[in-house]
A and B are shown apart, each in its own frame.
Chain A
Amino acid sequence: GDSVTQMEGPVTLSEEAFLTINCTYTATGYPSLFWYVQYPGEGLQLLLKATKADDKGSNKGFEATYRKETTSFHLEKGSVQVSDSAVYFCALSDYNTNAGKSTFGDGTTLTVKP
């Protein structure tokens, strides 16, 4: 079945540092890929997405590129802020094979220190 593996945490960075959170996936079809963010005490919300190979999703300074050849969707940000402290989830969804369902990674906790 489909699966998502993401970089284990927690990750602690200083403000303005570069962020990379690795995510790789296994899927039988051609899924869409997502990064969700969860702030303390809240539900998950979409950060960015990419729906086909070589697409780049971007939002709030975060970027991720859908790499079919390496089955990866790594999250990057050039300069993190304290307000980026949260849990980040990589996910995939294949409408053609599993409409309405998503598969999530275990989450990576990011803490940014001033």
Chain B
Amino acid sequence: NAGVTQTPKFQVLKTGQSMTLQCAQDMNHEYMSWYRQDPGMGLRLIHYSVGAGITDQGEVPNGYNVSRSTTEDFPLRLLSAAPSQTSVYFCASSNGLAGGNEQFFGPGTRLTVL
């Protein structure tokens, strides 16, 4: 199993550009999430999904869109990039079983917005 994969690993954008960060998992997990990691602020939840066709907002959703058309894929779209979106983005999946909800993380996408 590849686990959780993310592309690209690095990206530089200019203010106002749009792009999509790709995330895929091959573990048949129901739950998928997007987090951003900023120095001294831990991980903050952007959007999450509890299954194909179902998404919801997290703590910091503004400026981002998601969709979940399949169990495997959960892309994150930046609509109009801003310097405040410079961050490291992590996708994660989990099986959501009661008694434990371990998150499996991808390697991250490092985004710089100029």
Q: Which residues of A line the B interface, CB within 8 A?
A: 32, 34, 36, 42-46, 49, 51, 89, 91, 93, 95-96, 99-102, 104-107
Pairwise interchain contact B45-A32, C-beta atoms closer than 8 A: no
Q: Which residues of B line the A interface, CB within 8 A?
A: 4, 30-33, 35, 40-43, 45, 48-50, 58, 90, 92, 94, 96-108
Residues of B contacting A99 with CB < 8 Å?
31, 50, 96, 101
Residues of B contacting A44 with CB < 8 Å?
43, 90, 92, 103, 105
Shortest Cβ distance from residue B7 to the other chain A in the assembled complex, whole angstroms:
13
Pairwise interchain contact B42-A89, C-beta atoms closer than 8 A: yes
Residues of B contacting A34 with CB < 8 Å?
102-103
Task: Enumerate 12 A-B pairs (CB-CB under 8 Å) in ascending A order.
Answer: A34-B103, A42-B108, A43-B108, A46-B104, A91-B103, A96-B98, A100-B49, A100-B94, A101-B48, A104-B42, A105-B42, A107-B42
CA gap between A107 and B51 in the complex, in Å:
29
Residues of B contacting A89 with CB < 8 Å?
42-43
Residues of A contacting B94 with CB < 8 Å?
93, 100, 102
Closest to A1 in B: B59
Pairwise interchain contact A95-B98, C-beta atoms closer than 8 A: yes
